[in-house]
Amino acid sequence: MNMNKHNYVAIMAGGIGSRFWPKSRQDFPKQFLDILNSGKTLIQWTYERFASFIPPENIYVVTSHEYEDIVREQLPELNVENILGEPSRKNTAPCIAYISFKLLQKDPEASLVIAPSDHLISDNTAFTKVCLEALSFVNKHNALITLGIKPNHPNTGYGYIQFEQHAVSDNVYKVKTFTEKPNLELAKTFLASGDFLWNAGIFVWQVKNVIRAFEKYLPEMYDVFISEKAAFNTRSEKKALEYIYPLCTNISIDFGIMEKANNVYVIPSSFGWSDLGTWNSAYDNMDKDYLGNASASGNVVVIDAKRCMVHSPEKKLLVLQGLDDYIVVDTDDVLLICKKDKEQEIKEYLAEVKKNKGEEYI
């Protein structure tokens, strides 16, 4: 495949993944884990997916400074200078401003795909095709593209995108509205209407056009970055970031730009996507035994238990009896046993642990 040298990718890998606690920890979060027992970590799958159609030297990982070593270890083929450590967590807008200003200095013609490091995509061929369609469209138009997933059930854990019914180009549609996570009734209505997609949080645009959007919709952030732009791709970059980040508001790109801009388009896609946000989504994507139990370990004996999600170390035998619809996650120092329908509350349990036991198990 002839790769376009002006196409870049930024993989966002700074999150903590607290809903996958106790497997995911602050010092080793889920993007660096093999949650599904698939032989590779989530960030390794993400990198490989992009390396098949983006020049490897054009692939960047933006992460928290404390994870730079883990990224280096898990992606030895990535240029070390392409691992960008953020001095603090400020949501996705500053992270995207950082990579965008850095690339603009390097290559004014740059087009960029921004993607999370911890999503699951099972159809790489379809994914590649959609990304290349999006890149081709943004190279011809001043457009901000988001990839929308055709929903196959009324999920209440995802944001939704409503789109206009006539295409502006092959498979590219103008976005009408972004909608927050709906309740079940609303999600069913969205699904039935046929003009709503799941928001996958994957964006494609020309760097110069997203910087124009920052100037228009997040002017304070734009001003801080522009004032330091000469430092990017030099030895002063790290020092500049330490000045910039405390001055940035903590805001997502969706809220800061995508929901306000009038040049936002979507490509309705199907490539076997899951945001792998919770233990239930891991369960949905794993092989099950005849009683519906999914286990990410070869060392589990199940007796009379149904529909459980089990994650435990190989070196320890886990015997499970009588549980129905539970999440069981065993690690060296924490054991979590929790009803599957209570998984959205794991963040609250984590707060409780922190309150009673301090930082040790977080």
| pLDDT at residue number 186 | 94
The pLDDT of residue 157 is 87
Instruction: Answer for the pair 144, 209: CB distance below 8 angstroms, yes or no.
Output: yes
Q: Could you say which of 242, 274, 306 is where a domain stops? A: 274
Domain with 317, as residue range(s), is 279-357
Shared domain check, 58 and 194: yes
Cis ω for the linkage preceding 22 (within 30 of 0): yes
**Structural domain contains residue 123:** yes
Q: In the listed set 226, 256, 274, which residue is the last one of a domain according to the structure?
A: 274
Structural domain contains residue 62: yes
Q: How many domains does the chain have?
A: 2
Tell me the C-alpha to C-alpha distance, in Å, between residue 335 and each of 82, 99, 163, 224: 37, 39, 44, 45
What is the total residue count of the chain?
362
pLDDT of residue 188: 95
Angle, alpha carbons 223-226-231 (nearest 5°):
140
Residues 205 and 238 in one domain: yes
Give the per-residue pLDDT at 298: 82
Token pair, residue 214, equals 């920052």
**Residue 148 in domain:** yes
In a shared domain, residues 226 and 340: no
Q: Is residue 1 part of a domain?
A: no
Spatial separation of the C-alpha atoms in residues 152 and 148, rounded to whole Å: 12
CB neighbours (10 Å) of residue 326? 21
Q: Are residues 291 and 262 in the same domain?
A: no
Using alpha carbons, select from 227, 253, 224, 264 the residue that is nearest to residue 96: 253
Asked if 189 and 291 sit in the same domain, the reply is no
Same structural domain for residues 284 and 256?
A: no
Q: 328: which strand partners? A: 310, 337
State the Cα–Cα distance between residues 308 and 305, nearest whole angstrom: 7
Identify whether residues 246 and 227 lie together within a single domain. Answer: yes
Q: Which residue has the tokens 């929901």?
A: 259
In a domain, 317, yes or no: yes
In a domain, 362, yes or no: no
Q: How many CB atoms lie within 10 A of CB 18?
A: 17
Cβ count within 10 A of residue 62 = 24
Distance CA 352, CA 347 (A): 9
Rounded CA separation 213/144 (Å): 9
**Contact at 8 Å (CB) between 168 and 136?**
no
Give the β-pairing of 273-274 and 120-121. Answer: antiparallel
Would you give per-residue pLDDT tens digits along the chain (362 residues)? 568 899 999 999 998 888 999 999 999 999 999 999 899 999 999 999 999 999 999 999 999 999 999 999 999 999 999 999 999 999 999 999 999 999 999 999 999 999 999 999 999 999 999 999 999 999 999 999 999 999 999 988 899 999 999 999 989 999 999 998 999 999 999 999 999 999 999 999 999 999 999 999 999 999 999 999 999 999 999 999 999 999 999 999 999 999 999 999 999 999 999 999 899 999 999 999 999 999 988 899 999 999 999 999 999 999 999 999 999 999 999 999 999 999 889 989 999 999 999 999 99
Which residues, in sequence order, are bridge partners of residue 253?
none
Output the CA torsion 310→313→316→320 (10° steps): 0
Picking from 246, 274, 302, the residue at the C-terminal end of a domain is 274
What contacts 358, CB < 8 A, 6 or more positions away?
A: none
Kindly tell me the burial class for residue 207, based on how many C-beta atoms sit within 10 Å of its own C-beta (0-12, 13-18, 19 or more): buried
Residue at 181 is within a domain:
yes
* pLDDT at residue 17, rounded to an integer: 85
Query: What is the rounded (10 degree) CA torsion for 272, 277, 279, 282?
Result: 20
Question: Do 200 and 321 have their domain in common?
Answer: no
pLDDT of residue 94: 97
Q: Does residue 114 lie within any of the structural domains?
A: yes
Distance of CA 325 to the CA centre of its chain: 27
CATH code at 81?
Answer: 3.90.550.10
What three-state secondary structure class fits 115? strand
**How many other C-beta atoms are found inside a 10 Å radius of the C-beta of residue 224?**
19
Same domain, 284 and 337: yes
pTM above 0.85, yes or no: yes
Same domain (yes/no): 96, 199: yes
pLDDT of residue 1: 59
User: Could you tell me if 156 and 38 lie in one domain?
Assistant: yes
> Does 313 lie in the same domain as 222?
no
